[in-house]
Amino acid sequence: MSEKARALIHRWFEEVWNKGRSDAIDEMLAPDCIVHGLADDGSPMHGGEGFKPFHAKFREAFPDLSVNVEDTVCEDDRVAVRCSVRGKHSGDSLGFAATSKPVEFSGIAIVRVKDGKIVEAWNNFDFMALYKQLGVS
């Protein structure tokens, strides 16, 4: 199970984030998936329909976004991933005008997989570093 889960998570970051394929979200997220730690108000996102607006907003703000998976640790149905993220702030979707500034920040996600799909994810990305680089801290 752990090798399949590892492959799924690597595919998630490559397809959904690096290639910007929003159609891949439903391929990899279970319909009842719960995603923690990404919403502005701290509430969890539910399923692909709950996650897609965040994805669209972030990809519009950083169309050249690149997520590099630095480490993965797998145990049973869970995968922990350490990532580095880079991009140029080229879109206005974060609630303020694009700054054209490059950003670089890191994050960790712990993901639970069941039946070949992500069923729950806990995210801790350094959005404070992101906003400081954009001059919006």
User: What CATH number is associated with residue 28?
Assistant: 3.10.450.50
Exposed / middle / buried, residue 8 (Cβ in 10 Å: 0-12, 13-18, 19+):
middle
Closest CA to 80 of 107, 44, 43, 117: 107
pLDDT digits (tens, 9 = 90+) for 82-127: 999 999 999 999 999 999 999 999 999 999 999 999 999 999 999 9
Lookup: tokens for 73? 């640790």
Q: Which residue has the tokens 């502005």?
A: 40
- Entry pTM: 0.93
Helical H segments across the chain, by residue range? 2-12, 23-28, 47-61, 127-133
pLDDT class for 2, splitting at 50, 70, 90?
Answer: confident
Instruction: List the end-to-end C-alpha distance of the chain, in Å, as a whole number.
Output: 41
pLDDT in tens, 41-78: 889 999 999 999 999 999 999 999 999 999 999 999 99
Residues in the chain: 137
Structural domain including 128 reads 2-133
Provide the domain count of the chain: 1
